[in-house]
C-alpha cells in the first residue's frame, strides 16, 4: 500500500479537497495527514448532496475509518479545530502533533489590520503569517503547551512511520498551491512558508523516499484570491460569462481568474516532482461533460483539452473532476 501526496499546482483552490475526498472514499485510506500552512486554507467537498468545509482537519474527516493527523509544520487555531472535531464527531480519530504552532488572537489582529498584509498582500487574515513569523523567532507557543487540545496530541511522524511499517494506505494532504510558496511563488504575494510537495513531507515528518505518488491538482482554469500578478487575467464580466466567478472559502472574497496556463503547470510539475496530475472542474469548461465517469464518454473538445495538457506535461490526468460531488470523477489510475 502506498503513501501518496496531493498538492495544489496553481494558486490554491484547485479542488484538492474534492480529489482527496474521492481518494479517501475509494481507496479506504488508513491515515490522512495534513501539511501546509494552517487555517488560511479551506478545503471543500460535496458528499451526498451536503457541502463540507475543513480548515484544520484533513479532507478525510467524513470517513470514520480514517485516522486524521495534523503535522508538526502546521499552525493550529484551537477553536476552529475543536469545532471541526465536534462537527465530524472525530474525537477518537484526531491526532495533533505536539510541535504544531498555535495561532493566538494577537496574530489574527496583526494579520487583519496591518496594511502591508491586509491591503498589499491581501492575506486571509487568519493569523498564519504573524504566527509563522513568531515561530521563526522561536517565541510561538506550541500545541504541547495548549490545554484546550491536550486530548489530541500524538507524534504524527511516528504514527505515519508505524502505518508505513504495516503497509497501510496513507494520504498526505497539501494546502494552498505551488505559486503561493514563499520560495517559489511570486514574492511577496505569497503565503508564509513553502508549500510544495517536499515541504508537505517535512511538515508531517516523512522523507521523500517513502512517497509513492505525487499527484498535482490543477483546475481547468486558474483562480487566485488576494494580490499579486496573474497572467492573462480576465475581466469580471468575462469571468461571469464563462461561469468562472468563484468566492474564497475562507474569506468569501471574489477570486480572480485566467485560462489554464501550461507554462505554470510545467514548472509546477518540476517543483513538486509530480508523478501524475488531477484535473478538476472540467464540467465548468465543458458543461456537456457534467457527471461523466468514463473517459470515453467525454466530448471531443474536452478530450482534446486534456490530451494537449498531457502531451505538454508528459504525464497522465489520472483523476478528472466532472462535477461538485465527490463521486463525479473519471479515475484512470492503474
If contact means CB under 5 to 8 A according to the sort of partner, which of ligand IMP, Mg ion, none does residue 123 touch? ligand IMP
Q: Which residue is nearest to ligand IMP (CB)?
A: 226
Which 2-31 residues touch Mg ion, going by CB under 5 A?
Answer: 13
Known catalytic residue at 97: no
Shortest reach from residue 152's CB to ligand IMP, in Å: 23
Q: 228 vs 274, which CB is nearer to ligand IMP?
A: 228
**With respect to ligand IMP, which residue has the nearer C-beta, 226 or 292?**
226
Compute the distance between CA of residue 191 and CA of residue 182 in angstroms, rounded to an integer. 6
Query: Pick from 8, 42, 73, 101: which binds Mg ion (CB under 5 A)?
Result: 42
3-state secondary structure of 132: helix
Nearer to Mg ion, 221 or 305 (CB): 221
Query: Is there a catalytic annotation at residue 283?
Result: no
Applying CB under 6 A, the residues found at the interface with ligand IMP are 12-13, 37, 40-41, 121-124, 126, 128-129, 175-176, 180, 191-192, 225-226
Among Mg ion, ligand IMP, none, residue 272 binds (CB under 5-8 Å by kind): none
> Which one, of 149, 165, 186, lies nearest residue 264 by Cα?
186
DSSP E strand boundaries for 186-282: 213-219, 221-224, 256-259, 276-280
Contact assessment for residue 231 and residue 218, using Cβ atoms and an 8 Å cutoff: no
Contact between 73 and Mg ion per CB under 5 A: no
C-beta of 142 vs 250, nearer to Mg ion:
250
Q: Cell numbers 486524521 correspond to what residue?
A: 68
C-alpha cell at 222: 486558474
Contacts 24+ apart (CB under 8 A), 290-298: 290/322, 290/323, 290/328, 291/322, 291/323, 291/325, 291/328, 292/322, 292/328, 292/330, 293/322, 293/327, 293/328, 293/329, 293/330, 293/331, 294/330, 295/320, 295/330, 295/332, 298/330
Question: To the nearest whole angstrom, how small is the minimum distance from the Cβ of residue 290 to ligand IMP?
Answer: 24
Q: Of these partners, Mg ion, ligand IMP, none, which one is at the site of residue 192 (CB under 5 to 8 Å by kind)? A: ligand IMP
Nearest approach, Cβ of 221 to ligand IMP (angstroms)? 15
- Is 66 within 8 Å of 90 (Cβ atoms)? no
**Marked catalytic residue, from 27, 43, 111, 151:** 43
**Distance, CA of 305 to CA of 27 (rounded, Å):** 28
Q: Could you give the string, one character per residue 247-286, with x where binding to Mg ion holds by CB under 5 A and - elsewhere?
A: --x-------------------------------------
Segment holding 94, helix H or strand E:
strand 94-96
Residues in binding contact with Mg ion, number by CB under 5 A: 3
Cell digits of residue 104? 493566538
Question: Which residues participate in catalysis according to the annotation?
Answer: 13, 43
Q: Which residues bind Mg ion (CB under 5 A)?
A: 13, 42, 249
Amino acid at each position: 500500500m502506498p503513501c501518496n501526496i496531493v498538492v495544489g499546482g496553481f494558486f490554491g483552490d484547485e479542488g484538492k479537497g474534492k480529489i482527496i475526498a474521492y481518494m479517501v472514499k475509494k481507496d479506504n485510506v488508513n491515515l490522512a495527514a495534513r501539511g501546509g500552512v494552517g487555517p488560511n486554507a479551506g478545503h471543500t467537498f460535496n458528499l451526498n448532496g451536503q457541502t463540507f468545509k475543513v480548515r484544520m482537519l484533513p479532507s478525510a474527516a467524513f470517513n470514520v475509518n480514517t485516522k486524521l493527523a495534523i503535522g508538526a509544520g502546521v499552525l493550529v487555531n484551537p477553536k476552529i479545530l475543536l469545532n471541526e472535531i465536534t462537527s465530524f464527531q472525530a474525537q477518537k480519530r484526531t491526532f495533533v502533533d505536539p510541535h504544531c504552532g498555535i495561532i493566538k488572537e494577537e496574530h489574527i489582529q496583526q494579520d487583519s489590520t496591518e496594511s502591508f498584509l491586509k491591503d498589499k498582500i491581501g492575506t486571509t487574515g487568519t493569523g498564519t503569517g504573524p504566527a509563522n513569523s513568531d515561530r521563526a523567532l522561536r517565541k510561538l507557543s506550541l500545541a504541547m503547551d495548549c490545554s484546550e487540545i491536550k486530548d489530541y496530541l500524538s507524534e504524527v511522524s511516528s504514527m505515519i512511520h508505524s502505518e508505513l511499517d504495516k503497509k497501510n494506505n496513507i494520504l498526505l494532504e497539501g494546502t494552498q498551491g505551488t505559486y503561493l510558496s514563499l520560495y517559489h511563488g511570486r514574492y511577496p504575494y505569497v503565503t508564509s512558508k513553502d508549500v510544495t510537495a517536499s515541504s508537505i513531507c517535512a511538515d508531517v515528518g516523512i522523507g521523500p523516499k517513502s512517497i509513492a505518488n505525487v499527484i498535482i491538482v490543477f483546475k481547468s482554469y486558474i483562480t487566485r484570491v488576494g494580490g499579486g500578478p496573474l497572467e492573462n487575467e480576465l475581466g469580471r464580466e468575462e469571468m461571469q460569462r464563462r461561469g468562472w466567478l468563484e468566492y474564497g472559502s475562507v474569506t468569501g472574497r471574489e477570486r480572480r481568474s485566467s485560462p489554464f496556463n501550461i507554462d505554470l503547470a510545467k514548472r509546477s510539475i518540476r517543483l513538486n516532482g509530480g508523478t501524475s496530475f488531477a484535473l478538476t472542474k472540467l464540467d465548468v469548461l465543458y458543461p456537456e461533460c457534467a457527471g461523466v465517469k468514463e473517459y470515453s464518454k467525454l466530448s471531443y473538445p474536452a478530450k482534446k483539452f486534456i490530451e494537449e495538457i498531457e502531451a505538454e506535461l508528459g504525464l497522465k490526468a489520472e483523476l478528472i473532476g466532472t462535477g461538485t460531488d465527490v463521486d463525479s470523477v473519471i479515475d484512470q489510475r492503474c
